[in-house]
């Protein structure tokens, strides 16, 4: 009894309260989204809000059991849980049922179960266990390979289920690795890739080439700090471009302006690379390599976009970037979602008074687009409150993670915070037109037993670990 | 390690930055932009036009002539179409599979989201059955609308019919939208503005499938439809029905007017049609059938058929002669029977005759002499002719009377210039145009003109412009009685008496007394026979009754009826008896039966 009391006393009740508030708000909005005048009983199991009430009750029971289990259990069985989940993922690929194009469900007796949802906490446990082992060093090929496997193997399996959204969640572990020592250059490269990807799709080839050249020259000046050399470099580059142009005219090769610039750039880059290596200016060499990489990446974006991405994914990205607009087709969801949220105004239309969500203008309104109901019925004030609650939860989780004495708990804590954050970012970003349409749920809000339970397990294992943070055993 | 702890701020920073971007975007969407509120309203608000019930039409006695019945249009929203049993739907609605397929294709072309009408005017009988099956046909909806219904299948030509508004009308009058109905002929057209009422608007909330989800703001912005105003006609329903029955299997017309008011009691154009034929889904087929019928049932003979008035016109010439002083009550002209010149007399009678007897005997030589003297009273033929012509016009002939009936014809009383053109100025005289004396020749009148002329005589010198609508009564408004002008003839009242005595003699002292005299009613009338180059002559009769304080004046035309006393006079007498006595005396039932049974449609014998 004494021991259990200490656990209860050590639980971070602030997080628990935020969790309960979010789950409650989620249920209220599901009720409103599905509400119709024919069946109003909140316990009506035939309606989604009635079912969600059952899921919530079960989630609270689940949370209780997670809390009373010894925290060492999670550490000890980390790999085993991960292994079981991988087996489930493989078997769902073979025996699962296809729902909305994704073969990611087991349907048993009318109830659906999505193993992919539960792989997240298992991956987090496995990653925490691996990183927390004695003598772990990030920069070893073996370490990187194993970490890569732990994170991306489940992601690959989920991707094979055609559940691209859930697979993308695993990229967020990079933030956890960053906290544990992975170089910040990785974040820089991710940013670079995203920017180049968008630019490649949005602006013309000439513009992006000029943009990259200007950035490179500026970077050269920032690294090298010699104005005279900058002029020399620009001069040489200009000369090479002019020669290329001259050859083109002389031999009547019919170069376009872009190809003159491109050939000129490549030749100049090769010349400068040779010079920088001879003069041992390593940073300049790196800059030129990055320039080359970016050039290659940009050229390949178009190819990747058209051949790797599926048609509906292409359409969603084009819609997001404003390249194409089809409010009745690919853009329908987001357009209606923005209308619903936008029409909420500052104070919202009031509980149960949302017309856009209630009359089914917004698809998937109780699951992926639940935030529309918040925006429409509770207005800017309500949406702001929900975002604030989430942010408070994330910061609280990071703060909790930082206070852990054990690496395991810290890595797991960061995993929880960043996984929740990724869902939050993509889901809300999608409803307000800042992210492409990627169907992943809003934690604690979206309708669905699997997602609510998986987020509950994810969160409460960390709270259980946190309750034992003073234990040296971990 | 110390360095890595600081990375929590970078991660927290990323989270906070994301949150700030979201809040900024939400602020823009929700607070700064008002466009989304408008989009949302457009999404959910549907304006549904509420059609008012069209005004009803009553007889003069307050009996319903036209009312509304419910019918239903079938609509389809292509987006919501599921699989359904095409064949049983087609059978239920009595349409072909091809028709359904092409209509659905057209609906898809119009819009996937908005409903299109594919079958119109399903009867309530069909609908009652169909309604129970409707759940099997996702995407199909039914909307109610009203159709005209005629409890007694009479007065089709007077009432007119309604049809879909033409594009021309829609462009002209923004009240109408494509698919709206409007009066096409008759009272329905003339009184459209009263009958149609005011459309209302109802706002509904709809869901993404355009299904209605309740009223908007509890209906505060709704505008109710205002029911059309009711029309009270001057038609006597019983008389109209009786008159139509008398004209069955005949061509021709009956126009009966209440002389003191100009109210048209009955107006028949035979052959007529059942007004219910031009209602509902079979309208198109029926209309095509009626419009190609060789007997022209859609043609309103009472208003549009122009015939010479025949001997009935002798009444007009008598009055003009008296007014002009060409003759007086005692002026006599001799008659040599068939040997008379220039116009032979068709009747055997004593000679010479004064005006009263001349009317009784319809003596052609008398009226030629009378006509010759009227014109001869003036120094030139032209002056005499124009004086005569002005008198004729004052009886209502030769121009539209200005009734509330549409498509009235002018008739024809030739201008002086007409004869100048034919014969040359001063190269013609009364002798040249002597057929005008006996109502033949270029003279053309409509049955309405003649009935109106009977009313002029009955009134001793004036008429009220004939009309079919007495008053208009709105749903909540006062009864509005419509006024029609009184026109006075140029013949003074004192000249009418002797002529009327002559007309009484026609009924009581000629062979007509066996058929046309009505016990207890002093009927005054005049027969006519209109020469018909295409077949048997037309039988014409004008009459009014009773002689003093007349209640009814009428004209009867029976095409190919042979001569005036054969059909037109007996029919007129039956109409008079029916109107004044309410029923036909037993002693005259044989006559009624004979008239009802007469079939003149097959007896056109070219001469």
pLDDT at B317: 93
A127 is a domain residue: yes
CB proximity A390 to B under 8 Å: yes
A145 is a domain residue: no
Mean pLDDT of B29-57: 80
CA distance readout (Å), A228 to A231, A235, A267, A276, B88: 5, 11, 21, 16, 89
A235 is a domain residue: yes
* Same-domain status, A104 and A205: no
A390/chain B closest Cα distance in angstroms: 9
Chain centre distance of CA A424: 9
Contact list in B for residue A342 (CB cut-off 8 A) is 29-30, 33, 35-37, 39-40
* Mean pLDDT over each residue of chain B, to the nearest integer: 87
Better pLDDT: B17 or A283: B17
For domain B237-272+300-597, which CATH number applies: 3.20.20.70, 3.40.50.300, 3.40.710.10, 3.60.150.10?
Answer: 3.40.710.10
Cα–Cα distance for residue pair A341/A363, rounded to 1 Å: 13
Cα–Cα distance for residue pair B313/B335, rounded to 1 Å: 19
Q: What is the DSSP string of A230-241?
A: HHHHHHHHHHHH
Is the pLDDT score of B497 beyond 90?
yes
pLDDT at B112: 75
* Same-domain status, A375 and A462: yes
Pairwise CB contact (< 8 Å): B11 & A359: no
Q: Out of A181, A346, A402, whose CB is closest to B31?
A: A346
B270/chain A closest Cα distance in angstroms: 59
pLDDT at A474: 46
pLDDT tens-place string over residues A152-186: 999 999 988 888 888 999 999 999 999 998 888 88
Q: Identify the burial level of B470 via C-beta atoms within 10 angstroms of its C-beta, where 0-12 means exposed, 13-18 middle and 19 or more buried.
A: buried
Cα–Cα distance for residue pair B140/B130, rounded to 1 Å: 11
pLDDT at A38: 63
ipTM for the predicted complex comes to 0.88
Pairwise CB contact (< 8 Å): A387 & B40: no
A314 is a domain residue: no
Mean pLDDT of B526-555: 90
pLDDT band, residue B526 (cuts 50/70/90): very high
Q: Do residues A200 and A323 make contact, with C-beta atoms less than 8 angstroms apart?
A: no
Segments forming the whole domain that contains residue A282? 192-308
Cα angle A16, A20, A21; round to 5: 115
CB proximity A340 to B under 8 Å: yes
pLDDT tens-place string over residues B101-125: 888 888 888 777 777 788 877 887 8
Pairwise CB contact (< 8 Å): A432 & B26: yes
Strands (E), B327-387: none
Is the pLDDT score of B206 beyond 80?
no
Q: Which of B236, B238, B258, B234 is nearest to B546 (CA)?
A: B258
Is there a common fold for B67-154 and B237-272+300-597? no
Pairwise CB contact (< 8 Å): A355 & B40: yes
CB proximity B21 to A under 8 Å: yes
CB proximity A354 to B under 8 Å: no
Mean pLDDT of B452-480: 88
Cα–Cα distance for residue pair B495/B284, rounded to 1 Å: 54
A435 is a domain residue: yes
pLDDT tens-place string over residues B421-447: 988 888 888 888 888 888 888 899 999
Domain boundaries, chain B: 2-33, 67-154, 237-272+300-597
A416 is a domain residue: yes
Last residue within a domain, chosen from A308, A336, A370: A308
Pairwise CB contact (< 8 Å): B8 & A179: yes
pLDDT at B116: 79
Question: Which alpha helices (H) appear in A161-281, and where do they start and end?
Answer: 164-168, 173-179, 185-202, 205-224, 227-250, 257-278
* Same-domain status, A43 and A172: yes
Q: By CA distance, what is A378's nearest residue in B?
A: B30
Contact list in A for residue B35 (CB cut-off 8 A) is 342
Pairwise CB contact (< 8 Å): A345 & B27: no
Q: Identify the burial level of A349 via C-beta atoms within 10 angstroms of its C-beta, where 0-12 means exposed, 13-18 middle and 19 or more buried.
A: buried
Mean pLDDT of B66-84: 82
Q: Out of B10, B29, B43, whose CB is closest to A361?
A: B43
A125 is a domain residue: yes
Q: Out of B12, B18, B31, whose CB is closest to A398?
A: B12
Last residue within a domain, chosen from A246, A276, A308: A308
* Same-domain status, A37 and A157: yes
CB proximity A392 to B under 8 Å: no
* Same-domain status, A404 and A282: no
* Same-domain status, A198 and A173: no
* Same-domain status, A445 and A400: yes
A402 is a domain residue: yes
pLDDT tens-place string over residues B124-141: 788 888 878 877 887 887
A38/chain B closest Cα distance in angstroms: 12
Cβ within 8 Å of residue B469, ≥6 positions away? B187, B190, B191, B231, B232, B233, B234, B404, B482
* Same-domain status, A299 and A347: no
pLDDT band, residue B373 (cuts 50/70/90): very high
Cα–Cα distance for residue pair A103/A92, rounded to 1 Å: 7
CB proximity B209 to A under 8 Å: yes
For domain B67-154, which CATH number applies: 3.10.180.10, 3.40.50.2300, 3.40.50.970, 3.90.1310.10?
Answer: 3.90.1310.10
CB proximity A351 to B under 8 Å: no
Is the pLDDT score of B388 beyond 70?
yes
Q: Which of B453, B498, B579, B560 is nearest to B329 (CA)?
A: B498
Among left, alpha and beta (phi > 0; psi -120 to 50; other), residue B407 is left
* Same-domain status, A17 and A97: yes
Length of chain B: 607
Pairwise CB contact (< 8 Å): B25 & A344: no
pLDDT tens-place string over residues A34-69: 876 666 666 777 778 888 899 999 999 999 999 999
Interface test with A, best of B13, B14, B15 (most A CBs within 10 A): B15
pLDDT per residue as tens, chain A (474 positions): 334 456 777 889 999 999 999 999 999 998 888 876 666 666 777 778 888 899 999 999 999 999 999 888 999 999 999 999 999 999 988 888 777 777 777 877 667 778 888 999 999 999 999 999 888 888 888 999 999 999 999 999 998 888 888 899 999 999 999 999 888 888 888 888 888 888 887 777 788 888 888 888 888 888 888 888 888 888 988 999 999 888 888 888 777 888 888 888 888 888 888 888 888 888 888 888 888 888 888 888 877 777 777 777 787 777 777 766 666 666 778 888 888 888 888 988 888 877 777 777 777 778 889 999 999 999 999 999 999 999 999 999 999 999 998 999 999 999 999 999 999 999 999 999 888 888 899 999 999 888 999 999 999 999 999 988 876 554
When divided into structural domains, chain A yields a total of: 2
* Same-domain status, A49 and A173: yes
Cα–Cα distance for residue pair B458/B476, rounded to 1 Å: 38
Q: By CA distance, what is A435's nearest residue in B?
A: B22
Contact list in A for residue B31 (CB cut-off 8 A) is 345-346, 380
**Phi then psi dihedrals of residue B379, to 5 deg:** -70, -35
* Same-domain status, A130 and A223: no
Q: Out of B25, B41, B213, whose CB is closest to A434?
A: B25
Cα angle B343, B345, B347; round to 5: 170
* Same-domain status, A339 and A295: no
In angstroms, how far apart are the furthest CA atoms of chain A?
92
């Amino acid at each position: 009894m004494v021991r259990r009391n200490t656990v209860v006393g050590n639980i971070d009740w602030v997080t628990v309260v935020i969790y309960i508030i979010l789950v409650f708000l989620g249920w209220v909005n599901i009720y409103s989204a599905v509400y119709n005048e024919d069946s109003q009983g909140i316990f009506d199991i035939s309606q989604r809000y009635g079912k969600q009430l059952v899921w919530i009750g079960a989630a609270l029971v689940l949370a209780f059991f997670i809390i009373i289990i010894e925290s060492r259990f999670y550490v000890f069985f980390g790999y085993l849980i991960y292994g079981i989940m991988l087996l489930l993922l493989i078997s769902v690929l073979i025996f699962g049922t296809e729902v909305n194009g994704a073969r990611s469900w087991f349907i048993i007796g009318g109830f659906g179960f999505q193993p992919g949802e539960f792989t997240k906490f298992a991956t987090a446990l496995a990653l925490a266990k691996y990183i927390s082992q004695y003598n772990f060093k990030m920069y070893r090929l073996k370490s990187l390979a194993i970490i890569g496997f732990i994170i991306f193997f489940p992601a690959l399996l989920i991707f094979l289920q055609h559940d691209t959204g859930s697979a993308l969640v695993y990229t967020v572990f990079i933030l956890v690795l960053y906290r544990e020592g992975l170089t910040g250059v990785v974040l820089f490269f991710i940013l670079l890739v995203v920017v180049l990807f968008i630019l490649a799709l949005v602006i013309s080839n000439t513009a992006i080439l000029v943009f990259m050249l200007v950035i490179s020259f500026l970077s050269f000046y920032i690294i090298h700090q010699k104005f005279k050399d900058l002029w020399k470099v620009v001069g040489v580059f200009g000369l090479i471009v002019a020669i290329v142009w001259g050859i083109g005219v002389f031999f009547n090769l019919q170069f376009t302006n872009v190809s003159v610039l491109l050939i000129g750039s490549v030749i100049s880059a090769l010349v400068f690379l040779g010079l920088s290596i001879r003069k041992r200016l390593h940073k300049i060499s790196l800059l030129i390599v990055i320039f080359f990489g970016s050039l290659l990446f940009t050229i390949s974006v178009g190819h990747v976009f058209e051949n790797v991405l599926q048609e509906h994914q292409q359409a969603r990205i084009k819609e997001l970037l404003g390249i194409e607009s089809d409010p009745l087709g690919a853009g329908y969801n987001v357009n209606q979602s923005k209308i619903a949220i936008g029409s909420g105004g500052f104070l919202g239309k009031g509980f149960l008074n949302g017309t856009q969500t209630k009359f089914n203008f917004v698809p998937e309104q109780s699951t992926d687009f639940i935030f529309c109901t918040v925006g429409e019925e509770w207005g800017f004030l309500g949406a702001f409150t929900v975002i604030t609650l989430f942010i408070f939860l994330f910061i609280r989780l990071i703060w909790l993670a930082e206070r852990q004495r054990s690496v395991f708990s810290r890595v797991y804590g960061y995993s929880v915070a960043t996984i929740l954050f990724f869902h939050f970012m993509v889901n809300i970003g999608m409803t307000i037109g800042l992210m492409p349409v990627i169907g992943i749920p809003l934690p604690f809000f979206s309708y669905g037993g699997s997602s609510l339970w998986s987020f509950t397990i994810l969160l409460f294992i960390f709270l259980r670990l946190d309750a034992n943070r003073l234990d040296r055993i971990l | 390690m110390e360095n890595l702890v600081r990375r929590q701020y970078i991660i927290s920073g990323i989270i906070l930055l994301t949150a700030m971007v979201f809040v900024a975007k939400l602020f823009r969407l929700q607070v700064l932009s008002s466009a989304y509120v408008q989009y949302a309203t457009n999404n959910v608000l549907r304006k549904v036009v509420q059609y008012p019930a069209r005004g009803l039409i009553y007889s003069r006695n307050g009996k319903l002539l036209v009312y509304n019945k419910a019918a239903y249009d079938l609509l389809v929203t292509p987006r919501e179409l599921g699989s359904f049993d095409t064949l049983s739907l087609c059978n239920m609605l009595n349409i072909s599979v091809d028709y359904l397929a092409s209509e659905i294709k057209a609906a898809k072309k119009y819009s996937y989201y908005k409903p299109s009408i594919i079958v119109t005017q399903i009867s309530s009988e069909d609908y009652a059955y169909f309604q129970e099956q409707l759940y099997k046909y996702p995407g199909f909806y039914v909307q109610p609308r009203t159709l005209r219904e005629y409890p007694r299948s009479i007065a089709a030509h007077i009432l007119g019919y309604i049809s879909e508004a033409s594009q021309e009308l829609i462009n002209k009058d923004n009240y109408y939208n494509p698919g709206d109905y409007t009066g096409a002929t008759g009272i329905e057209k003339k009184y459209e503005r009263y009958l149609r009422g005011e459309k209302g608007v109802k706002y509904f909330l709809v869901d993404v499938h355009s299904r209605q989800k309740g009223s908007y703001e509890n209906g505060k912005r709704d505008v109710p439809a205002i029911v059309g105003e009711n029309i009270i006609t001057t038609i006597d329903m019983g008389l109209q029905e009786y008159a139509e029955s008398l004209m069955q299997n005949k061509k021709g017309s009956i126009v009966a007017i209440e002389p003191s008011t100009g109210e048209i009691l009955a107006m028949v154009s035979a052959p007529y049609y059942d007004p219910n034929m031009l209602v509902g889904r079979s309208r198109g087929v029926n209309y095509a059938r009626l419009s190609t019928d060789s007997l022209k049932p859609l043609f309103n003979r009472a208003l549009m058929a122009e015939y010479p008035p025949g001997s009935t016109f002798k009444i007009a010439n008598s009055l003009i002669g008296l007014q002009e002083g060409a003759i007086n009550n005692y002026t006599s002209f001799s008659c040599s029977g068939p040997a008379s010149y220039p116009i032979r007399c068709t009747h055997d009678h004593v000679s010479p005759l004064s005006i009263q007897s001349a009317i009784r005997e319809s003596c052609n030589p008398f009226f030629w002499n009378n006509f010759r003297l009227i014109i001869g009273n003036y120094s030139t033929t032209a002056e005499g002719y124009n004086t005569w012509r002005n008198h004729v016009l004052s009886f209502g002939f030769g121009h539209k009377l200005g009734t509330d009936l549409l498509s009235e014809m002018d008739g024809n009383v030739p201008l002086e210039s007409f004869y100048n053109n034919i014969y040359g100025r001063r190269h013609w005289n009364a002798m040249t145009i002597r057929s005008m004396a006996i109502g033949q020749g270029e003279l053309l009148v409509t049955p309405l003109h003649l009935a109106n002329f009977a009313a002029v005589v009955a009134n001793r010198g004036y008429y009220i412009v004939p009309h079919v609508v007495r008053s208009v009564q709105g749903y909540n408004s006062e009864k509005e009685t419509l006024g029609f002008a009184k026109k006075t003839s140029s013949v003074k009242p004192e000249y009418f008496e002797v002529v009327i005595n002559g007309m009484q003699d026609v009924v009581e002292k000629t062979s007509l007394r066996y058929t046309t005299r009505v016990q207890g009613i002093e009927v005054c009338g005049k027969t006519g026979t209109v020469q018909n180059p295409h077949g048997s002559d037309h039988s014409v009769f004008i009459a009014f009754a009773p002689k003093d304080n007349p209640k009814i004046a009428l004209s009867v035309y029976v095409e190919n009826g042979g001569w005036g006393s054969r059909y037109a006079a007996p029919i007129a007498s039956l109409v008079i008896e029916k109107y004044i006595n309410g029923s036909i005396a037993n002693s005259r039932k044989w006559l009624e039966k004979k008239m009802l049974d007469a079939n003149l449609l097959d007896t056109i014998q070219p001469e």
